[in-house]
Amino acid sequence: MTAALHEVASDVSNTDAAVAALIQDGGVVIRGLLSQETLDTIEQDVRPFLNADKPWKGDFFPPETRRVFGLAGKSPTFMHNLVAAPLYQAVCDALLTSTHQAYTGLKLETSISKPQLNNTVVFSIRPGARNQELHRDDMIHHNHLAAITAAEYQPGRDAGIGLFVAGKKATRANGATRFIPGSHLWDTLSPPEEGLAVYAELEAGDAFIMLSSCFHGGSANTTAGEERLIYSCFMTKGYLRQEENQYLASSVEAVRKYSVEMQQLIGYRVSQPFLGWVDLDDPRKVLVGAEWEDKRGDLF
Ligand SMILES: O=C(O)CCC(=O)C(=O)O
Ligand SMILES: [Fe+2]
């Protein structure tokens, strides 16, 4: 089912081809990004966290899906080999870097904002899971887009770019990520059509890069015993953040002393949908500590 998709090898020399495919289709398959040895190390790092995760309370994920977040603190191998993959980073540099000119007095200054890491997530879809609804991840950034043609596409249109690496073979039957080629060119208020979706079927170690304005979703796992295991991350524009870094400028102890309303004002709140979470939960869980009640699924 990947016939409609362009494929490139994982070498960084394929950056231009990958960028062209993304502008055309919104997604591109990368063959042979990670070795089996690297996949095994990542799996060892994340399996205890996958085993500890619980079914989602809302309806964004089927109850059979398990996740791990916060990979920078859990798997350096994930960070060095997946997030920092040269081809992925080169694609993000090409499409997410922003250059802005502004006058300070009579001096015209040029500023360059480099992409930053947006999220890190492991998705395990277990047998029996239904389709996740098709959605666009750029809804988190309220990225309102008008319909265009591929020829009209300009870097900066997308707020983010995702990398999905198959930890194990991903097939249509076991829940491969499906997506609608070309949907990154649609108006934001165009609804998805399931009939247009294709499946990013991947061998272990292969990857799928996707613009965050594309309709996509995890798929049903109709197998009896296969886990669909995807290691993923997104990069986003560097300027999509607060000016003063509130989370490092003041300690958790200092922020803990404020009212809930003040904590939320400082930034300890999820901007709907799905922006600013910790473990896909309200960031105030870090302030509250052990007494925190899981709000995952109620927030989005
Ligand atoms: O599991 C997948 O293949 C995709 C998951 C996804 O798109 C999401 O949770 O936003
Ligand atoms: Fe998504």
DSSP states along 73-131: GT-HHHIIIIIT-HHHHHHHHHHH-EEEEEEETTEEEEEEE--EEEEEEEEEEPTT--P
Q: Which atom of ligand 1 is nearest to the CA of 137?
A: 10
pLDDT band at 1 (very low <50, low <70, confident <90, very high): very low
Phi, psi of 291 (to 5 degrees): -85, 0
Domains and CATH numbers, the chain: 2-101+112-236 (2.60.120.620), 246-291 (no CATH)
Percentage of the chain with pLDDT > 90? 95
pLDDT band at 222 (very low <50, low <70, confident <90, very high): very high
- The pLDDT tens digits of the residues spanning 191-203 come to 999 999 999 999 9
> What would the mean pLDDT of 40-57 be, rounded to a whole number?
96
Contact 200, 178 (CB under 8 A): yes
Q: How far is CA 135 from the centre of its chain?
A: 12
pLDDT (0 to 100) of residue 272: 96
pLDDT (0 to 100) of residue 178: 98
Question: Atom 2, ligand 1: which residue's CA is nearest?
Answer: 218
Q: Is the pLDDT of residue 99 over 50?
A: yes
Give long-range contacts, CB 8 A cutoff, 24+ apart: 2-6: 2/29, 2/198, 2/199, 2/200, 2/201, 4/181, 4/198, 5/29, 5/181, 5/198, 5/200
pLDDT (0 to 100) of residue 298: 84
pLDDT band at 297 (very low <50, low <70, confident <90, very high): confident
pLDDT (0 to 100) of residue 65: 96
Span from the CA of 177 to the centroid of ligand 1 (angstroms): 7
Residues flanking ligand 1, CB < 6 Å: 123, 132, 137, 177, 216-218, 230
pLDDT (0 to 100) of residue 300: 81
Q: Which helix (H) or strand (E) holds 25?
A: helix 15-25
pLDDT band at 58 (very low <50, low <70, confident <90, very high): confident
Q: Which atom of ligand 1 is nearest to the CA of 164?
A: 3
- The pLDDT tens digits of the residues spanning 247-281 come to 999 999 999 999 999 999 999 999 999 999 999 99
Q: Is the pLDDT of residue 87 over 90?
A: yes
Span from the CA of 251 to the centroid of ligand 2 (angstroms): 32
